Structure 1
Amino acid sequence: MLEVRDLSKNFGGLRVSRHIHMALEKGERRVVLGPNGAGKTTLFNLLAGTLQPTSGEILLDGKPITNLNVEQRARRGLSRSYQKNNLFEGLTVGENLALAAATAQGRTFSCFSRAHESRAIRETVEEVAEMVGLSDRLDLGVAHASYGNRRQLEVGLALATKPKLLLMDEPTSGVGPGMIDAFHKLIATLPRELTIVIIEHDLDLGFDVADRITVLNYGEVVFEGTPEETKGSDVVREIYLGDWQGDA
């Protein structure tokens, strides 16, 4: 489904991502872990298309997407949620979802209200709202939504585009234990054919939701394995306990 080959990113003389290799099967839940400054967000932006690599290649469904922009990658089935809320404050939860669904379906509307006239869009909105636990919040103005509801909506916007591959950037950042539990349940209910990459710094979350875990440090992959293998890794333990001696 997703393959990353020898991916590197330099900013001037600073190499932030170093020769990264990853391969994900269809339907896999991959969590990318690492301490602050490990290069997780840079990798995420390279996958999403907001950054272009200095070298290397990215393939989706066996086809190169390295030189495609964000919109072109979205048309190929790649969608993302953001670490920080990126919502339309003046619209309701339902209207935000409808706009995402309309865009994904290639529809344009001179008047936004016409989006709700489409049965296909209404069905997508209802389906996605159920997935992310917002069925009873569709008429709520985003400006008045709680932080937790906004995080749920961020995921919903990505799902409304019907992606093959979903990138999630620290989806539980800033939320309490109750919302973290809700996120775990959300991941469990998503269609298994949907491939997911989650960028995280929280070890516990990674262990709970991942099929496989990739660990970054100083921009390079230093470990990859199952959650159980990750728990037993001396390399991972050293990184998180502060004893890592890698080349910075």
Structure 2
Amino acid sequence: MKLTAQNIAVTFGKKDIVKNISVIVKKKQFVGLIGPNGCGKSTLLKSIYKSLTPKQGTVFLDDLNVLKSPEKKVSQQLGVVGQFNEMHFDLSVHQMVMLGRTPHKKMLESDTGKDYEIVEEALARTNLQSYKERSFLSLSGGEKQRVILARTIAQQPKFMILDEPTNHLDIRYQIEILSCVKELNIGVLAALHDLEMAAHYCDYIYAVKNGEIYAHGTPTEVLTPDTIEALYQIKCQTYINPVTNGLGFAYGLGGSL
């Protein structure tokens, strides 16, 4: 499934947060959004998955007009894993993951054997089988995020948006979540803070600065010392990481490394 977001603009008050951005994610492509805090990444994603309404622009998943279609219809195709997932009531992990089946059910329709089968598969993919009866609120941040991912997998989306889902997690959970998503083999648009993660998992990257696309291309084309300095105002050198065989980064402040 191909995502095409064209000419997206978002304004809060008199401030333009997202300025006429266009993004394309081809079928089964893992595409990253990078850029400093406040550059507009998360606002752009929220406008794409209908959490807020853009001032202008269009969003299509193949032929589905996302911004003009009912939320239930969109949710049958598009899944979202966000940054924060706090709740004021408690459910078991199994109940939380079962909520992913909601877009595919009629009002008051009971859970079926097929639903339970899909949920079990989602729990297995995220290594949560032993957590089924645990209270969601009792879990750590990384464990909660795996549950939210499992819920989204149970939704069986054909495209997934990751709205900065890993920036508050330790390295183990970052790798677990991004690896799991990559293995789904579906289209993904992800806002990421960690440049090494972006280099390792992304097929294509859009760099955002001040609400606009500053650069785009493959990780090696975008993640250059000049672009990183322009985005983050830090000096940087790149190298080949001997562990991942991908790009690594060395940073320095004060004009030198």
Normalised-by-shorter TM-score class: 0.7 to 0.9
Cα distance per residue 1:197-235 (max 9 Å; x no partner): 111222121111101011111111111111111222623
Letter in 2 for 1:80: V
Partner of 2:97: 97
Matches within 5 A, 1:116-131: 118-131=112-125
* Moved segments of 4+, more than 4 Å: 86-89
Question: Does the CA contact (< 8 Å) of 2:162 and 2:190 recur in 1?
Answer: yes
SS for the counterpart of 2:67 is: coil
3-state SS of paired residue (1:236): helix
CA contact (8 A) 2:9 2:56 kept: yes
Aligned residue for 1:66, secondary structure, equals helix
SS at match of 2:122: helix
CA–CA distance in structure 2, aligned partners of residues 217 and 186 of structure 1 = 29
Describe how 1:31-50 pairs up with structure 2 within 5 A: 31-50=32-51
Specify the SS of the correspondent of 1:152: helix
Q: Which of 118, 136, 140 is the aligned partner of 1:142?
A: 136
Partner amino acid, structure 2, of 1:196: V
Amino acid at match of 1:85: N
Q: Is the 8 A contact 2:149 2:177 kept in 1?
A: no
What is the CA-CA distance between 1:130 and the residue it aligns to?
Answer: 1.2
Please tell me whether residue 13 in structure 1 is matched to residue 14 in structure 2.
Answer: yes
In structure 2, the CA distance between the partners of 1:219 and 1:68, relative to structure 1 (3 Å rule), is farther
The match for 1:27 is: 28
Q: How far is 1:24 from its partner?
A: 1.2
Name the CA distance, whole Å, in 2 between partners of 1:87 and 1:100: 16
Query: What one-letter code is carried by the residue in structure 2 that aligns with 1:173?
Result: N
- Counterpart residue number, 2:198: 206
Matched with 2:54 is 53
The one-letter amino acid paired with 2:231 is I
2:164 is matched with which residue?
170
Once residues 237 and 179 of structure 1 are traced to their aligned partners in structure 2, the CA distance between those partners, rounded to angstroms, is: 28
Answer yes or no: is the 8 Å Cα contact 2:80–2:162 preserved in 1.
Answer: yes
Shift in alpha-carbon separation, 1:181–1:50, aligned structure 2, 3 A: closer
State the shift of 1:180 in Å.
Answer: 2.0
Query: Would the alpha carbon gap of residues 69 and 30 (structure 1) be closer, same or farther in structure 2, given more than 3 Å must change?
Result: same
How many Å separate the matches in 1 of 2:66 and 2:182? 28
TM-score between the two structures when normalised by the length of structure 2: 0.84
Which stretch of the first structure deviates more once superposed, 161-170 or 63-72? 63-72
Matched, 1:236 2:253: no
Q: CA offset at residue 87 of structure 1?
A: 5.1
Change (3 A) 1:69 1:223: farther
**Residues 39 and 210, structure 2, Cα contact 8 Å, conserved in 1:** yes
Distance of 1:63 and 1:71 partners within structure 2 = 12
Which letter maps to 1:30?
Answer: V
Q: Distance in 2 between matches of 1:56 and 1:36?
A: 23
Moved more, 54-63 or 228-237: 228-237
- The separation in 2 between residues aligned to 1:86 and 1:26, in whole angstroms, is 32
CA distance in 2, matches of 1:73, 1:20: 21
Q: Is the 2:3–2:62 contact (alpha carbons within 8 Å) kept by the matching residues of 1?
A: yes
How many corresponding residue pairs? 234
C-alpha contact (below 8 Å) 1:93/1:139 kept by paired residues: yes
Q: Counterparts of 2:74 and 2:162 in 1: how far apart (Å)?
A: 15
* Cα distance in 2, alignment partners of residues 177 and 74 from structure 1: 29
Write the letter of the residue equivalent to 1:162: Q
- Answer whether contact 1:32 1:213 (CA < 8 A) is retained: yes
Alpha-carbon separation, structure 2, partners of 1:73 and 1:86: 23
Deviations 1:50-107 (A, max 9, x none): 11111121111133223345444213x1111111015574211111111222x13214
Q: CA deviation at 1:168?
A: 0.9
